[in-house]
């Protein structure tokens, strides 16, 4: 993690207390409430979309309470407490990220009404779960699916095989994803401020447009993609 996780994540990890121990939700919830007005809600597993979005919209993070088996450390398809707690919670101490996740919840409720959840889910996938951010020292992971994967955390930064593109809202909303293997494509943000700024516009017209356009395969090479070229040291 010191090598691949983003700065804000590493800075906040200490606030989880003893990371070798079983997490105490009440304790962290209280700390989070004081810090960014978020709190944790324990849930047994995946919950219905509208319930999930309503929690986020009210600054409540659903956290599952079961733990994966040792042989599943590289990839689990359903979130467990390791993913939810050690992955999602630390970044909630970051004020801009904290606001983004609430906005996402509000956006989810809206997307449900507009029948556009499939499109919005791609944004969640390519940012909150598998997002990369560029820092002065290079690429770093802020996506929780990356932070909780022993294998993909190094892969997403180091491997030559995946496509890495600069954040592009429309491109993301058209890009399909696979949930059962390492990602073929990643999107790189400059900052959480950029993420919040670029997702602020009303998505209603975008949903209408995208409903008529075909999706891109997870590994698609789309002519005018802005590929991420690495960091030039200054
Ligand atoms: N601007 C989005 C909308 O109109 C809301 C949103 C914000 C969705 C941030 C996701 C992330 O639906
Ligand atoms: Fe997750």
How many angstroms separate the CA atoms of 197 and 69, rounded? 39
3-state DSSP call for residue 222?
coil
pLDDT of residue 103: 98
pLDDT of residue 38: 98
Q: Looking at ligand 1, which residue's alpha carbon is closest to its atom 11?
A: 104
Asked if 172 and 194 touch (Cβ cutoff 8 Å), the reply is: no
Asked if 1 and 144 touch (Cβ cutoff 8 Å), the reply is: no
pLDDT of residue 19: 80
Please give the distance of CA 21 from its chain centroid, rounded to a whole number.
24
Asked if 99 and 91 touch (Cβ cutoff 8 Å), the reply is: no
Q: What is the CA radius of gyration of the chain?
A: 17
- Predicted confidence (pLDDT) at residue 180 exceeds the cutoff of 90: no
Least confident among 7-21, 108-122, 213-227: 7-21
Work out the average pLDDT over 45-54. Answer: 95
Asked if 4 and 153 touch (Cβ cutoff 8 Å), the reply is: yes
- Tell me, using a 6 A CB cutoff, whether residue 104 lines ligand 1: yes
pLDDT of residue 2: 94
Pocket mutation for ligand 1, best pick of 199, 202, 205 (most atoms within 8 Å of C-beta): 199
Query: How far does the centroid of ligand 1 lie from the alpha carbon of residue 111, in Å?
Result: 9
For residue 127, the ligand closest to its alpha carbon is 1
Work out the average pLDDT over 175-192. Answer: 96
Percent of the chain exceeding pLDDT 70 equals: 97
pLDDT of residue 23: 87
Structural domains of the chain, with CATH: 7-210 (1.10.800.10)
Give the pLDDT confidence of 107-163 residue by residue, as tens digits. 999 999 999 999 999 999 999 999 999 999 899 999 999 998 889 999 999 999 999
How many angstroms separate the CA atoms of 137 and 134, rounded? 8
Look-up of token digits 């359903």: 78
Closest ligand 1 atom to 123 CA: 10
pTM: 0.94
Give the pLDDT confidence of 62-111 residue by residue, as tens digits. 999 888 888 887 766 788 998 999 999 999 999 999 999 999 999 999 99
Sorting pLDDT into bands at 50, 70 and 90, what band is 5?
Answer: very high
Closest ligand 1 atom to 111 CA: 12
pLDDT of residue 43: 94
Pocket mutation for ligand 1, best pick of 56, 98, 203 (most atoms within 8 Å of C-beta): 203
For residue 110, the ligand closest to its alpha carbon is 1
Sorting pLDDT into bands at 50, 70 and 90, what band is 53?
Answer: very high
Query: How far does the centroid of ligand 2 lie from the alpha carbon of residue 104, in Å?
Result: 13
Handedness of CA 184, 81, 34, 19 (dihedral sign): negative
pLDDT of residue 145: 93
Query: Do β-strands 132-135 and 60-64 pair in parallel, antiparallel, or remain unpaired?
Result: unpaired
pLDDT of residue 232: 59
Which has the closest alpha carbon to 175: 214, 224, 216? 216
Which backbone phi and psi does 94 adopt, to 5 degrees? -95, 115
3-state DSSP call for residue 163?
strand
Query: How far does the centroid of ligand 1 lie from the alpha carbon of residue 17, in Å?
Result: 32
């Amino acid at each position: 993690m010191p090598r691949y996780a983003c700065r804000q994540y590493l800075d906040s990890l200490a606030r989880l207390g003893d990371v070798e121990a079983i997490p105490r939700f009440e304790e962290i919830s209280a700390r989070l409430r004081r810090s960014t007005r978020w709190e944790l809600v324990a849930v047994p597993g995946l919950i219905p979309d509208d319930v999930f979005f309503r929690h986020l919209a009210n600054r409540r993070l659903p956290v599952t309470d079961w733990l994966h088996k040792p042989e599943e450390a590289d990839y689990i398809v359903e979130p467990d407490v390791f993913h939810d707690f050690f992955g999602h919670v630390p970044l909630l101490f970051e004020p801009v990220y904290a606001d983004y996740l609430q906005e996402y919840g509000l956006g989810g409720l809206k997307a449900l009404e507009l029948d556009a959840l499939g499109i919005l889910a791609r944004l969640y996938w390519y940012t909150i779960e598998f997002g990369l951010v560029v820092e002065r020292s290079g690429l770093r992971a802020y996506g929780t699916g990356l932070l909780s994967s022993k294998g993909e955390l190094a892969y997403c930064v180091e491997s030559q095989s995946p496509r890495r593109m600069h954040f592009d809202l429309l491109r993301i909303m058209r890009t399909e994803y696979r949930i059962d293997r390492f990602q073929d494509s990643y999107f790189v943000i400059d900052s959480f401020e950029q993420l919040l700024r670029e997702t602020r516009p009303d998505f209603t017209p975008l949903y209408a447009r995208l409903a008529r356009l075909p999706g891109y395969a997870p590994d698609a090479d789309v002519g005018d993609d802005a590929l991420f070229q690495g960091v030039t040291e200054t």
